[in-house]
Amino acid sequence: MLRALYERGIVPDLLVATSVGAVNAAFLASRLPNVATADEFAGVWCGIRRSDVFPANPIAGFLGFLGHRNSLVPNSGLRSLLERHVQIRRLEKAVIPLHVIAAEVLSGPERRLSYGDAIAAILASAAIPAVLPPVCWGDEELIDGGITNTTPISHALEWTRSIRLRSVAEWRLLVTGCCYCRRKTFAPQGPCPWGVPDPTSWVTVR
């Protein structure tokens, strides 16, 4: 789809993304919007192995299962992948304006990250609860934005209205998200509580 859009000269005015979509959007936002970028993007995904993102670490996994760590897998693999392929280090330096969505771990409100450390913001937006650790952002700990908003088009619309340069209908938005949603109202001690069913598991804010 991306290649077809770029072939026709259709490029986004901004990128709004959450979860793994933030990883994709960061790659695209750090490069010129052309067919070569689309091809490079496809090549990266075709070359990724599970161990690149989720490196096997039995000790870390066991400690996480016991509650001595806040995740089963460290985010070092994903961080390394981002540092290799994302060509910006600050969100505000993106070639295409980039906004990533994360969620505050204690109460779940969404956070739209538009400025600051690009790698940390993407790690936060893609921090799958229980699997990858939360990321400190100021005074908060942030996790995967997909638990509260799987397709954050509301943030794109809000942003375009806020700058009032042209009508929302004239903007080209590329919104990338994830395919799951789970909400919690407490900070789990270790990853295990995220796997325990509770009534709020079936309630989403979107």
Say which residue, 198 or 9, is predicted with more confidence.
9
**Is residue 186 scored above 50 in pLDDT?**
no
Say which residue, 71 or 171, is predicted with more confidence.
71
pLDDT, averaged across the chain:
80
If pLDDT is split at 50, 70 and 90, which confidence band does 98 have? very high
**Is residue 156 scored above 90 in pLDDT?**
no
**Is residue 178 scored above 80 in pLDDT?**
no
Q: How buried is residue 197: exposed, middle or buried, by Cβ count under 10 Å (0-12/13-18/19+)?
A: exposed
pLDDT for 21: 93
Say which residue, 63 or 95, is predicted with more confidence.
95
**Region 146-164: what's the mean pLDDT?**
77
What is the percentage of the chain residues whose pLDDT exceeds 70? 71
